[in-house]
Amino acid sequence: MKTVKAQIEVQIRSKEPHRRNWNKKGVIYPGFEVEVIDEKTGEEIDGNDVWYQDKNGDFYWSGGFEIIGKTDISLNVEGVDAKLDWWQKQYEIEKLWTALSTTGEGTEITIIDSGIDLSSIYFNQSKITGVSVVSDTIQDNLGHGTKVASIVAGNGVDFIGAAPGAKLFVIKYYDTALPLAANLIDALKQVPESSDAVVISSGFLSQDISSQQKTTMQAIINKLANRTPIFCSVGDDFNHDDNAFSRYPSALDKTISVASVGKDRLVCSFSTKSDHVDIAAPGAEMKVIGLNNTLAKDSGSSFSSPLLGALVSLFKAKFNDISNPEIAARLVESCDPQTNVQLYGKGIVNPIKTLNSFK
């Protein structure tokens, strides 16, 4: 959130961030202030395609303004303390919102999963778009995708995600308890150019994905990773006393494989031991949103990877000139180091240390 002041006469546009014959709503004059709730890409004017959106949904070309103030995010999220989960307090997410003056506005996170509950009051439905490769709707019938998405952008009277201002692009690739690798390949092909991060919170053991499917998936990921980080949950195989497992796509090159830690900052017993772990993040007893507006606690690496995607959203919203892969690299490089790389990867995510890396 921020407040801007008009430096020139600026036209008010309704419906979309473009100058149309039909959408001129009025003008504001120099000195007039606007509280910006989101930024959109729209018509380019004098090399600038950023437009501000106010609480009424109207648009203003940003080139006519100067920023005069940042708004404390907590003041705009009613009852924020009651909404925060343990991990948001321990990892200082509210402090991050305030320091960055954003909750992810103007960014987009792609969730590849079982869809999302399109009737949920815990999401800003106007910020959800997507596609299904298995049906004619992204409506979630299993609940898993809705839970994953809630960690990123859920928001309600008793819940808030890490980046509630972000837009979601939801790709539904399974509608049964057993997703198929072929459908995930189709889903990866649907990731939009506008995506700032991709979250995949499901996967396959080696016997469930063919060599050709691995090769095809790797080729797609190689291209995607040049513009957007791909955060994959490492899996929940309870194998700490056994050999390391490989789950796909988290075992593929150029993905960022995310393990789970609990409130004690120790790796969770379920989190898969793997040679491909890159970083660890909270994943135990996470407050999540299920189907039919239900609030629940759930655990799994499925809920660790979306937190990383949400953090990219927050930093991208503030530091728009830094590439998405660079932001993801900073998250990994600034983590709290751990010695057991098969369980923690490089270490445990530390959002405040990442923030300091931008200074």
C-alpha distances out from residue 59 to 6, 16, 24, Å: 13, 7, 10
Q: Which amino acid is at 116?
A: I
The contacts of residue 266 (CB under 8 Å, 6+ apart) are: none
Of the candidates 332, 317, 329, 319, the residue with the CA atom closest to the CA atom of residue 152: 317
Which structure tokens are listed for 40?
């959109």
d(CA 126, CA 51): 17
Of the candidates 268, 289, 251, 277, the residue with the CA atom closest to the CA atom of residue 154: 289
* Helix 181-188, helix 211-224: angle, nearest 10: 20
Burial readout 172-210 (b: 16 or more C-beta within 10 A, e: otherwise): bbbbeeebbbebbbbbbebbeeebbbbbbbbbbeeeebe
Could you give the residue ranges of the DSSP H alpha helices within the chain?
80-83, 86-90, 93-100, 144-153, 181-188, 211-224, 305-318, 324-333, 341-344, 351-357
Give the number of other CB atoms < 10 A from CB of residue 31. Answer: 8
d(CA 333, CA 348): 10
Which structure tokens are listed for 306?
């979306």
- How is residue 301 annotated by DSSP? G
Q: Which residues are catalytic?
A: 113, 144, 302
